[in-house]
Amino acid sequence: MSLIKWLALIPFIGLLGGTYFANKVTPYIFGMPFLLGYCVIWVVITTVIMVIIYKLDPRNKEGDVQ
């Protein structure tokens, strides 16, 4: 698999797979229960990963083709 596909798999594993391990209330992260804070952090990480994927994808460098 290419690097782009592996990068796209990371948020999927982090959000869905990690919630089994993060399913607890304490400790609090920025005043939120741990599971909610974990999900919010993964949303931010997913955004960063999608920006990296966009920059690495060679089809985005070709320009618009109509």
Question: Contacts by 14-17 with C-beta closer than 8 Å and gap 24+?
Answer: 14/42, 14/45, 14/46, 15/39, 15/42, 15/46
pLDDT of res. 58: 76
pLDDT values of the chain reduced to their tens digit, one per residue, 66 residues? 688 888 889 999 988 887 788 888 888 888 989 888 889 999 999 999 999 988 888 777 776 655
In sequence order, what are the residues at sequence separation of 6 or more whose Cβ sits closer than 8 angstroms to the Cβ of residue 60? 54
Domain ranges (residues) in the chain: 3-58
Please state the pTM of the whole predicted model.
0.78
Beta-bridge partners for 32: 29
Query: What ranges make up the beta strands (E) of 7-50?
Result: none
pLDDT of res. 44: 96
pLDDT of res. 4: 83
pLDDT of res. 1: 60
